[in-house]
Amino acid sequence: MIRIHVLLLGAVLALAACAASSPQMGPDGKPLPRVYRISPGETREVRFRMLDAVNSLREGAGVKPLILDNKLTAAAATHSRDMSVQERPWHFGSDGSSPLDRIQRVEYEGEFIGETISETYETELETLAAWMEDDVTRRVILSSEARRMGFAWHQDPGGKIWWTMTLGS
């Protein structure tokens, strides 16, 4: 009897593993997005993973690497939260602020180079890949004038992530 229970438990666990690994399909026949959850303890890791990826792309383009800047990151974090509140990805804050206004508020002393934003359930590296497919955001990321990067996000309870990258000189 115990042997049968052990076999049944093993079969159930094997089936559960198979079901968990196959993606769910949407009505369009494409896989539904998986929610990428970022725990508070992963903040540093995610930021530096993005910085490393951006710098690899910049190196390939022959431009100088960026360093992570706390003030630009604070401006990016404010905007990510605000986009979530507004429920739309755009470059203006709910108070009408622009990216330039936000970096001035955090007393960033360099020049504003550009801002990239996204609303997605994807990882930071998938988001970077999407930004690199767009001519405008690619130019911002690979700008030879950029020297510093701010990078932040806000994740809604449902899993949607609002990403913001702000670059300065």
What span, in angstroms and rounded, lies between the C-alpha atoms of 141 and 150? 12
Give me the pLDDT at residue 26, please.
Answer: 72
What span, in angstroms and rounded, lies between the C-alpha atoms of 141 and 147? 10
Give me the pLDDT at residue 22, please.
Answer: 60
Both ends of the chain: CA-CA distance in Å? Answer: 71
> In this structure, what are the phi and psi dihedrals at residue 145, rounded to the nearest 5 degrees?
-85, -20
Q: Chunk the chain into consecutive blocks of 10 residues (it has 169) and report each block's average pLDDT, rounded to whole numbers.
A: 42 43 71 79 95 98 98 98 90 92 97 96 95 97 98 95 97
Strands 148-155 and 67-68: parallel
What is the pTM (predicted TM-score) of this model? 0.80
Give me the pLDDT at residue 33, please.
Answer: 65
Helix axes of 124-133 and 43-60: crossing angle, nearest 10 degrees:
30
- Neighbouring residues of 167: CB distance < 8 A, sequence distance ≥ 6: 66, 72, 112, 113, 114, 115, 140, 141, 143, 146, 148, 149, 150
